[in-house]
C-alpha cells in the first residue's frame, strides 16, 4: 500500500512538473520572440527526425556539428566536394534554428565551392545548392531571419546578377530559362495568375478542369504537373487538349503558379506588389529576385540589417535600370539590356537616400554618376526629352564646365569619358542605344542620322575594345560581337514599330545589312509570345 501511495505521489509530481514546464515554455517562447530579432514561433512542420534530433541530443548537438564541420573542412581541402552537400545538410539540421549556420554553409557552397570548378554547369549546380539550402530549408526553419533573406538576395544580386564570376552569364541564362517555363515575357501576367488556384485541390474544384484532367489522364498523363503536360514527349492528344480545351489556359497557369510557389517559393501576390512598387521588373533576371527577397527580409529586420536590405533593394534596382531587360540573340545567348522604365524609381530611391544621408559625400557622387549614366542611356536610345530633363538636373545639382557648355556640348563630352568610366556591360548598353537611335531615324526616313548614330555606336564600341584589349575581359563581361548588338536592336525595334512604312524600311535595311531573320523559338522567349 505504501508503495502504491509512493508511486501515485510520483505520478502526481510528474504531472505537476510537466504542466509547469508547459507554462514556463510559453513564457520562454514569448521572451524569445521579444528578445531575438526576427525570430518567430517554433516551426510546426519540422520533419520528425529533425525535431527528434534537436530535442534528444540537446547540448550534444554542438559537439556533433563540430565533428561534422571538421570533416567538411577536410573534405573541401581534399577536393572531395561530393560529401559537402550532405555534411552541410546534417550540420544545419542539427542546429536548424541557428541562422548563421545556414548562412555560412549556403555561402560556402554557392560562393566558395562553385568557383573551384572550370565547367560553368558544375558551378551553377553549386550555386543552386547554396540557393536551395536557404530558400527551401533555411527560411522554412527560420522564417523570421532577415540575415537569411539577405544571404539569398546576395546570391541573386552579386553571384548571379553581377559579373564577378566568370560564369555569371551562364547563371543568368539558366535562371532566365527556368523562369521562362513559368511565365511568358518579362513577368507573369499577374491578374490571371492571381485568379488561378495555387493548389491542386483548388484547381480540381472546377468541373471543367476535372473533365480536362480526366482526358489528360486518358491521354497518358499519369501525374499532373507542369513538366508532364509541357514535356516534349507528350502525346499529340495531350497537345491537342491543351490547345483546344477551354479549361486548358487556367490549368496551365495554375500549374505554373503551383510550381512557382512550391519550387521557387515565389508568391505571385508578393511579386505583384514588388513590381507595382519598383517595376516593371524583368523577372527572368536575378535583380528582380534580389529585390523580392530583400523586401521580404525587411518585414523582419531592424537597425543595421534593415539598412543592408534597403541597400540591396536600391542597388539591385540601379542594376536593373542598367541591364534589367532580358533579350536572347539568335544563338540563344542572353543579352541583358537597359530597363529605362525604371529610371524614376531609381531616381526616387536615390533622392530618399540623399534625404537621409545628405551629408555623405559618396552618396552625392553615386547619384551624380547615376544621372550621368542615365543621361547617356537616354541619349543613346533617342529619348531626347528625358535626356534634357536629366541634363537640367545635373546642371542644377552638379554644375561644371561641361554643363555650362550646354546640352550639345554635354552630349559630346559625355561619351568621350564614357569609355573610361563605364564598365563593359554599360558600354554595350550605350552602343546598343546608339544603334536603336540610328534605326529609329532610318525608319523615319532620315538616312544621314542613321549612319551618324551607327558610326557613333561603332566608334564607341571599338574604343572600348581598344581600351580593354583583353579577350578574357570581354568574355567575362559578356560583350558580344557588334553584329549581335545590331541583331538585337533590329528585332527589338521591329517588335515595337507598328507603322507599315517604317516597318518596311527597317525590314529592307535588315536584309541589306545581312542581319538574320528572327529564330521563331528565340522570338517566343524574348517577346513572351
Contact residues: other proteins, CB under 8 A:
78-86, 89, 115-118, 125-126, 129, 166, 470, 472
Q: How far apart are CA 432 and CA 487, in angstroms?
A: 10
- 3-state SS, 208-241, equals HHHHHHHHHHHCCCCCCCHHHHHCCCCCHHHHHH
Q: How far apart are CA 478 and CA 473, in angstroms?
A: 8
Task: Collapse the DSSP code of 337 into the 3-class scheme (helix H, G, I; strand E, B; otherwise coil) and give the result.
Answer: strand
| Minimum gap (Å) between residue 462 Cβ and other proteins | 20
Instruction: Specify the residue, 166 or 184, whose C-beta has the smaller distance to other proteins.
Output: 166
| Minimum gap (Å) between residue 69 Cβ and other proteins | 16
| Minimum gap (Å) between residue 83 Cβ and other proteins | 7
| Minimum gap (Å) between residue 170 Cβ and other proteins | 14
Cell of 129: 545548392
Instruction: Specify the residue, 166 or 393, whose C-beta has the smaller distance to other proteins.
Output: 166
| Minimum gap (Å) between residue 74 Cβ and other proteins | 10
Instruction: Specify the residue, 125 or 449, whose C-beta has the smaller distance to other proteins.
Output: 125
Instruction: Specify the residue, 62 or 399, whose C-beta has the smaller distance to other proteins.
Output: 62
Instruction: Specify the residue, 408 or 469, whose C-beta has the smaller distance to other proteins.
Output: 469
Instruction: Specify the residue, 79 or 500, whose C-beta has the smaller distance to other proteins.
Output: 79
The alpha-helical segments, DSSP class H, found in 468-519 are 471-477, 482-496, 500-512
- 3-state SS, 360-399, equals CHHHHHHHHHHHHHHHHHHHHCCCHHHHHHHHHHHHHHCC
Instruction: Specify the residue, 385 or 471, whose C-beta has the smaller distance to other proteins.
Output: 471
Instruction: Specify the residue, 81 or 398, whose C-beta has the smaller distance to other proteins.
Output: 81
Contact indicator for 253, 259 with CB cutoff of 8 Å = no
Give CA angle at 302 (299, 306), nearest 5°.
Answer: 75
Instruction: Specify the residue, 78 or 236, whose C-beta has the smaller distance to other proteins.
Output: 78
Instruction: Specify the residue, 30 or 80, whose C-beta has the smaller distance to other proteins.
Output: 80
Contact indicator for 527, 495 with CB cutoff of 8 Å = yes
Half-sphere exposure of residue 442: CA atoms within 13 angstroms, side-chain side: 24
Give CA angle at 520 (506, 194), nearest 5°.
Answer: 105
| Minimum gap (Å) between residue 80 Cβ and other proteins | 7
Q: How many CB atoms lie within 10 A of CB 212?
A: 20
| Minimum gap (Å) between residue 61 Cβ and other proteins | 18
**Contacts of range 67-74, beta carbons closer than 8 Å, 24 or more positions apart:** 68/94
| Minimum gap (Å) between residue 142 Cβ and other proteins | 19
Name the DSSP letter for residue 497.
-
Instruction: Specify the residue, 75 or 354, whose C-beta has the smaller distance to other proteins.
Output: 75
Phi, psi dihedrals of residue 328, rounded to the nearest 5°: -115, 130
| Minimum gap (Å) between residue 56 Cβ and other proteins | 17
| Minimum gap (Å) between residue 89 Cβ and other proteins | 5
| Minimum gap (Å) between residue 474 Cβ and other proteins | 13
Contact indicator for 449, 384 with CB cutoff of 8 Å = no
Task: Collapse the DSSP code of 328 into the 3-class scheme (helix H, G, I; strand E, B; otherwise coil) and give the result.
Answer: strand
If you search the block for the grid coordinates 505583384, which residue do you land on? Answer: 272
Task: Collapse the DSSP code of 188 into the 3-class scheme (helix H, G, I; strand E, B; otherwise coil) and give the result.
Answer: coil
The alpha-helical segments, DSSP class H, found in 245-404 are 248-262, 268-278, 286-298, 303-323, 343-356, 361-380, 384-397, 401-404
CA–chain centroid gap for 360, Å, is: 29
Amino acid at each position: 500500500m505504501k508503495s502504491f501511495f509512493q508511486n501515485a505521489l510520483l505520478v502526481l509530481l510528474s504531472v505537476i512538473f510537466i504542466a509547469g514546464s508547459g507554462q514556463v515554455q510559453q513564457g520562454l517562447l514569448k521572451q524569445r520572440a521579444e528578445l531575438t530579432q526576427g525570430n518567430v514561433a517554433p516551426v510546426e512542420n519540422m520533419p520528425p527526425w529533425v525535431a527528434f534530433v534537436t530535442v534528444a541530443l540537446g547540448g550534444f548537438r554542438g559537439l556533433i556539428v563540430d565533428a561534422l564541420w571538421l570533416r567538411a573542412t577536410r573534405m573541401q581541402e581534399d577536393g572531395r566536394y561530393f560529401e559537402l552537400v550532405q555534411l552541410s545538410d546534417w550540420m544545419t539540421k542539427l542546429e536548424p534554428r541557428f541562422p548563421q549556420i545556414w548562412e555560412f554553409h549556403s555561402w560556402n557552397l554557392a560562393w566558395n565551392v562553385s568557383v573551384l570548378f572550370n565547367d560553368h554547369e558544375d558551378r551553377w549546380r553549386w550555386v543552386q545548392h547554396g540557393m536551395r539550402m536557404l530558400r527551401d530549408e533555411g527560411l522554412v526553419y527560420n522564417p523570421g531571419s532577415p540575415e537569411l533573406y539577405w544571404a539569398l538576395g546576395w546570391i541573386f544580386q552579386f553571384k548571379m546578377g553581377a559579373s564577378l564570376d566568370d560564369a555569371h552569364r551562364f547563371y543568368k541564362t539558366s535562371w532566365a530559362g527556368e523562369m521562362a517555363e513559368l511565365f511568358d515575357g518579362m513577368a507573369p501576367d499577374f491578374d490571371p495568375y492571381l485568379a488561378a488556384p495555387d493548389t491542386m485541390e483548388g484547381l480540381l474544384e472546377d468541373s471543367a478542369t476535372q473533365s480536362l484532367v480526366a482526358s489528360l489522364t486518358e491521354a497518358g498523363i499519369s501525374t499532373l504537373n507542369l513538366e508532364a503536360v509541357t514535356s516534349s514527349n507528350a502525346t499529340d492528344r495531350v497537345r491537342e487538349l491543351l490547345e483546344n480545351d477551354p479549361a486548358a489556359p487556367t490549368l496551365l497557369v495554375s500549374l505554373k503558379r503551383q510550381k512557382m510557389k512550391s519550387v521557387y517559393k515565389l508568391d505571385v501576390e508578393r511579386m505583384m506588389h514588388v513590381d507595382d512598387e519598383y517595376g516593371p521588373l524583368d523577372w527572368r533576371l536575378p535583380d528582380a529576385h534580389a529585390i523580392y527577397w530583400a523586401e521580404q527580409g525587411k518585414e523582419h529586420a531592424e537597425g543595421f540589417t534593415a539598412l543592408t536590405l534597403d541597400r540591396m533593394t536600391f542597388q539591385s534596382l540601379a542594376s536593373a535600370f542598367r541591364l534589367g531587360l532580358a533579350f536572347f540573340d539568335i544563338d540563344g545567348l542572353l543579352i541583358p539590356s537597359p530597363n529605362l522604365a525604371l529610371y524614376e524609381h531609381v531616381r526616387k530611391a536615390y533622392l530618399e537616400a540623399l534625404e537621409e544621408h545628405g551629408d555623405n559625400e559618396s552618396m552625392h557622387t553615386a547619384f551624380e554618376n547615376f544621372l550621368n549614366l542615365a543621361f547617356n542611356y537616354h541619349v543613346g536610345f533617342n529619348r531626347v526629352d528625358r535626356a534634357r530633363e536629366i541634363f537640367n538636373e545635373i546642371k542644377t545639382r552638379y554644375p561644371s564646365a561641361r554643363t555650362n557648355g550646354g546640352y550639345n556640348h554635354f552630349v559630346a563630352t559625355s561619351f568621350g569619358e564614357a569609355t573610361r568610366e563605364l564598365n563593359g556591360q554599360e558600354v554595350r548598353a550605350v552602343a546598343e542605344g546608339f544603334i536603336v537611335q540610328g534605326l529609329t531615324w532610318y525608319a523615319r526616313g532620315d538616312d544621314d542620322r542613321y549612319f551618324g548614330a551607327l558610326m557613333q555606336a561603332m566608334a564607341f564600341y571599338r574604343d572600348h575594345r581598344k581600351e580593354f584589349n583583353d579577350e578574357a575581359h570581354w568574355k567575362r563581361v559578356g560583350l558580344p560581337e557588334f553584329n549581335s548588338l545590331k541583331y538585337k536592336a533590329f528585332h527589338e525595334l521591329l517588335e515595337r514599330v507598328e507603322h507599315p512604312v517604317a516597318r518596311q524600311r527597317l525590314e529592307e535595311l535588315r536584309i541589306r545589312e545581312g542581319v538574320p531573320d528572327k529564330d521563331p523559338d528565340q522570338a517566343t522567349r524574348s517577346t513572351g509570345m
